[in-house]
């Protein structure tokens, strides 16, 4: 080893008081303020509600959750760590470690749901199902191919944003659906915490993508944009088949697809791109939207012509030291 002329770069301590990108600290603060663990959610209050689901509904729910667990596992162990070598600031690396860890918390929390509500045999069957399901495996492969160390740093970010902001939603739909029917409401609370985290992850990785993209020559920018749209088309194809397989028996497939279109557009917006699906295809069932952001539509706004011209929210946190009035 003595012969190899390897010169290690000087190891540098991270200084959070010297930022190259303010977004790093903003996101660090938001993620750490939002930290949670599944133990915080009283999942056992859903035991009775769980017992009222039919066996088919239970099987579907467990399968959907093992599918979500798989995506969180990939993002925890491969996706977020794969972005670290491409980080342009030490603070970005630190944020990515937080993202990686929270994905582990998400993956772990589905097992909390299982141990609280389900029979071991049912759960074991569902994990076997997820390992063998062709659609679930196909989307995982497409994403993992991009996470390969040899992949272009920006293609990795595109794949990562699509996982965070698009691929989860065929699964997230179901707990929102149950919640809109007053079923498994505590489980839905837990899923909403996951949704909140994934929204920040998709936003941040998409932001870093945009910063890196703007430094590239036009031809490379076009190439990456074409790649992004081609990848979301391929992923959508798989998601559509996965959705049909899972939701056809409940007659919910079209409803889920509208939710997929809506979220695919949001994933593209996180990357700074325009929408792919027309608005007619994105009309999400209002009950699902209400389950996603409960309470937020009790406040109507002026242009929507809802009668009340003034929004009176419940107590909102306005105590910020920076306000002078």
Partner 1 sequence: MGGLAYFSSGSGNTARFVDRLGLPSVRLPLRGDAEPPRMTAPFVLICPTYADGQGRGAVAKPVIRFLNVEANRRLLRGVIAAGNRNFGETFAMAGQVVARKCNVPVLYRFELAGTDTDIARVRDGLTKFWGTECLTPA
Phi, psi (degrees; rounded to nearest 5) at 150: -80, -10
76 vs 265, which CB is nearer to partner 1? 265
Q: Of the listed pieces 67-75, 90-98, 143-151, 204-212, which binds partner 1 according to CB under 8 A?
A: 204-212
Cβ proximity to partner 1, 32 vs 97, nearer residue: 32
Q: Which segment (17-25, 74-82, 103-111, 243-251) binds partner 1 by CB under 8 A?
A: 17-25
d(CA 219, CA 212): 14
Residue from 29, 124, 156, 170 in contact with partner 1 (CB under 8 A): 29
- Judged by CB under 8 A, does residue 30 bind partner 1? yes
In the list 141, 196, 222, 249, the residue contacting partner 1 (rule: CB under 8 A) is 196
- The tokens describing 129, both together, are 């199902």
Is there a contact between 74 and 140 (Cβ–Cβ < 8 Å)? yes
Is residue 39 near partner 1 by the rule CB under 8 A? no
Q: Give least dist CB 134 to partner 1, A.
A: 29
Spatial separation of the C-alpha atoms in residues 286 and 292, rounded to whole Å: 10
Least Å distance, CB 28 to partner 1, is 11
Which of the residues 53 through 112 are near partner 1 (CB under 8 A)? none
Residues numbered 158-187 forming contacts with partner 1, rule: CB under 8 A: none
**Does the footprint of partner 1 cover residue 270 (CB under 8 A)?**
yes
* Interface stretch with partner 1, choices 22-30, 59-67, 80-88, 237-245 (CB under 8 A): 22-30
Q: How far apart are CA 272 and CA 227, in angstroms?
A: 14
Question: Which of residues 91, 155, 157, 266 is near partner 1 by CB under 8 A?
Answer: 266
For residue 18, the 8-state DSSP code is S
Judged by CB under 8 A, the residue of 23, 91, 157, 261 near partner 1 is 23
Using alpha carbons, list the distances in angstroms from residue 109 to 61, 106, 163, 173, 297. 14, 5, 18, 17, 28
Site string for partner 1, 218-257 (x = CB under 8 A): ----------------------------------------
Q: Which of 110, 169, 236, 262 is catalytic?
A: 110
What's the residue count for the chain? Answer: 325
In angstroms, what CA-CA distances link 317 with 10, 91, 171, 314, 321?
44, 27, 32, 10, 11
d(CA 250, CA 260) in angstroms, rounded, equals 17
Q: Please, which of residues 283-312 interact with partner 1 by CB under 8 A?
A: 289, 292-296, 299, 301-304, 309-311
Backbone angles phi, psi at 300, to 5 degrees: -95, 160
Asked if 37 is part of the footprint of partner 1 (rule: CB under 8 A), the reply reads no
Chain centroid offset of residue 148 CA? 20
Q: How far apart are CA 195 and CA 56, in angstroms?
A: 25
Buried b (16+ CB within 10 A) or exposed e, 90-125: bbbbbbbebbbebbebbbebbebbbebbbeeebbee
C-alpha torsion 226→228→233→238, nearest 10: 150
Is 110 among the catalytic positions?
A: yes
Active-site positions read 110
Contacts to partner 1 by CB under 8 A: 21-23, 26, 29-30, 33-34, 36, 192-193, 195-196, 198-199, 203, 206-207, 210-211, 265-266, 269-270, 272, 275, 279, 282, 289, 292-296, 299, 301-304, 309-311, 313, 316-318, 320, 322-325
């Amino acid at each position: 080893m003595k012969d190899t002329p390897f010169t290690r770069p000087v190891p540098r301590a991270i200084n959070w008081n010297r930022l190259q990108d303010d977004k790093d600290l903003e996101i660090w603060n938001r993620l750490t303020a939002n930290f949670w663990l599944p133990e915080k959610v009283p999942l056992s209050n859903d035991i009775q509600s769980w017992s009222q689901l039919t066996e088919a509904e239970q099987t579907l729910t467990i399968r959907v959750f093992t599918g979500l667990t798989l995506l969180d596992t990939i993002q925890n162990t491969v996706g977020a760590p794969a972005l670290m070598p491409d980080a342009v600031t030490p603070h970005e690396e630190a944020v990515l470690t937080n993202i990686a860890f929270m994905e582990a918390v998400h993956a772990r929390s589905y097992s909390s749901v299982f141990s609280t509500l389900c029979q071991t045999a049912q759960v074991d069957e569902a994990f076997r199902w997820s390992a063998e399901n062709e659609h679930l495996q196909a989307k995982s492969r497409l994403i993992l191919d991009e996470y390969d160390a040899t992949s272009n740093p920006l293609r990795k970010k595109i794949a990562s944003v699509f996982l965070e902001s698009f691929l989860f939603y065929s699964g997230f739909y179901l707990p929102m659906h149950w919640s809109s029917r007053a079923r498994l409401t505590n489980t839905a609370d837990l899923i909403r915490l996951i949704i909140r985290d994934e929204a920040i992850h998709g936003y941040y990785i998409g932001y870093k993508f945009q910063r890196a993209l703007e430094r590239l020559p036009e031809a490379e920018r076009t190439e990456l944009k074409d790649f992004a749209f081609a990848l979301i088309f391929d992923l959508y194809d798989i998601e559509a088949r996965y959705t049909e397989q899972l939701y056809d028996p409940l007659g919910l497939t079209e409803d889920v697809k509208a939710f997929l279109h809506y979220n695919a557009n949001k994933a593209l917006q996180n990357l700074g791109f325009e929408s792919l699906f027309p608005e007619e295809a994105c009309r999400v069932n209002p009950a699902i939207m209400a389950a996603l952001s409960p309470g937020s539509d009790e406040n109507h706004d002026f242009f929507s012509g809802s009668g009340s011209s003034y929004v009176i929210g419940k107590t909102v946190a306005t105590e910020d030291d920076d306000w002078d009035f």
